[in-house]
Chains A and B, each alone.
Chain A
């Protein structure tokens, strides 16, 4: 197990025991990443702080049910953070219908019955940053729109005024290269 994995396991045990030190440790470990993500998506530091509080209160509420053998804390925190932020932006911009997964669905994906061992990827920051830097400008653009704006591929195509097929090709190519950079196979 990666050293970082054992840190997450310890935090999960604290959360399961309703120990506030678990929230403090989770905040110290992931709070800045989540906040940076909130700021990037909302462009609003005040909203980002509100969302950060909402995120960790949600973690406190749900953490008692987490199982360190069945999930990845960092994946949960950053996946929920992304959903919260995009949902916040869309609630203010009614031009988008909400297409996001429900929080409950997302949580079940992060803490389902699959084995854990994915936390280390969250800490493998340099690899993904280097891989992203190596993408073409077109690939970066579609990935930013998909990840930070929560756009569907059709919405991306409309936004950059390119054919849907071109967008799909760029998204798949970019994801494939990121996957390889994080140690996955090109095709599982």
Chain B
């Protein structure tokens, strides 16, 4: 294609509807460093992105913002002019916390358990972000809105997988959910972790088990006794095909 011909298709390229051969030619042209086309493709990307405003206005629930901001944490702190005040305030808060905690052993135990749970949740979410950020991670959705279980399974061949579920059914006190990797070979499902959702039926579970989508047919979830099982003892409530 000449530049004149390319100028006719920048928006088609940005929209993703250009024929694959022509798109590949522009890809290569951009890789070769044509600044003229880079500028015009950037313009076209802007135009296409602006089309998002054609969607009817919608607002997510406030909890979504809290959930997202609860995961992201600063990795490096920069000292500020007010750090001494902050440190003093922190020390005062710690002292108050200690006094409060010591005043009640049961409160202290409860807070420790809560801290351990939050720490575990934080570590899980960090691992989830790492898996999510890998370029070869695949996402597979399951279920639909409403009261039925739904969510996503994010699979990485080397880095494990993440199970994100919502509206999961309530468990008995002596039960747990168990994840299974179902081999394509027809062999027995392999256990891949236990989890219990929160009171709202939501759960994010990260497994370090390597999942090769070529040899693993599906990820399944079944209800098992609280200590887990070596093989499913109930019919899975979810089977998410990876193919």
Q: How many chain-A residues does the 8 Å CB contact rule pick out? A: 86
B144-A44 in contact (CB<8A)? yes
Which residues of A sit under 8 angstroms from B16, Cβ to Cβ? 99-101, 146, 150
Contact residues on B (Cβ < 8 Å of other chain), bracket: 35 or more
Write out the residue numbers on chain B whose beta carbons fall within 8 Å of the beta carbon of A102.
135
Cβ of A34 and Cβ of B52 under 8 Å apart? yes
A34→B50 CA distance, assembly (Å): 11
Cβ of B70 to closest chain A Cβ, rounded Å: 10
Whether B133 pairs with A146 at a CB distance below 8 angstroms is no
- Residue in A closest to B42 when the chains form the complex, CB atoms: A114
As a 0/1 sequence over residues 32 to 46 of chain B, the CB contacts with chain A under 8 angstroms (1 = contact) are 010100111111011
User: Inside 8 A of A152's CB, which chain B residues have their CB?
Assistant: 17
Cα–Cα, bound, A179→B210 (Å): 46
Q: A48: CB under 8 A from chain B?
A: yes
> A88-130 interface mask toward B, CB cutoff 8 Å, 1 = contact, 0 = none?
1001100000011111110001101111101101101100110
Give CA–CA (A103, B136) in the complex, Å: 10
Contact for A118 among B15, B35, B45, CB less than 8 A: B45
B194: shortest Cβ distance to chain A, in Å? 22
* CB pair B8 A187 closer than 8 Å: yes
CB pair A151 B132 closer than 8 Å: no
| Smallest Cβ-Cβ distance to A22: which chain B residue | B72
Output the nearest chain B residue to A63 by Cβ-Cβ distance.
Answer: B72
The verdict on A121 contacting B47 (CB below 8 Å), with A18-B76, A20-B69, A151-B17 known, is yes
Q: Give A78 to B73 CA distance when docked, in angstroms.
A: 23
Which A residues touch B8, using CB under 8 A? 172, 187
- Residues of A within 8 Å of B74, CB to CB, are 18-20
DSSP majority for the A interface?
helix
- Whether B58 pairs with A36 at a CB distance below 8 angstroms is yes
- Contact A61 to B69, CB < 8 A, known contacts A52-B60, A179-B11: no
Cα of A165 to Cα of B143 in the assembled complex, Å: 38
Contacts of A27 in B (CB 8 A): 65, 68-69
Q: Does B54 contact A (CB under 8 A)?
A: yes
Contact string against A for B residues 126-155, beta-carbon threshold 8 Å, 1 for contact and 0 otherwise: 001100110100011110111000111000
A54 within 8 A of B: yes
Interface set of A (CB-CB < 8 Å, partner B): 17-20, 23-24, 27, 31-37, 39-40, 44-50, 52-54, 56-58, 60-62, 72, 74-75, 78-79, 81-82, 84, 87-88, 91-92, 99-105, 109-110, 112-116, 118-119, 121-122, 124-125, 128-129, 132, 143-144, 146-148, 150-153, 156, 171-172, 175, 178-179, 182, 184, 187-188
Instruction: Give 28 A-B contacts (CB < 8 Å), ordered by A residue.
Output: A20-B72, A23-B68, A33-B55, A35-B58, A37-B52, A44-B150, A46-B166, A47-B145, A48-B60, A54-B132, A57-B129, A60-B71, A62-B133, A75-B42, A78-B52, A88-B139, A91-B140, A92-B142, A101-B16, A109-B14, A118-B45, A122-B52, A122-B53, A147-B48, A153-B19, A171-B12, A179-B47, A187-B7
Beyond the given pairs A87-B139, A122-B52, 15 more chain A to chain B contacts, judged by CB atoms under 8 angstroms and listed by A's residue number, are: A27-B68, A34-B52, A47-B144, A57-B128, A57-B132, A79-B45, A82-B52, A101-B16, A109-B30, A112-B38, A113-B33, A128-B47, A128-B53, A178-B47, A182-B46
- Residues of B at under 8 Å CB distance from A? 7-8, 10-12, 14-17, 19-20, 27, 30, 33, 35, 38-43, 45-61, 64-65, 67-69, 71-76, 78, 128-129, 132-133, 135, 139-142, 144-146, 150-152, 164, 166-167
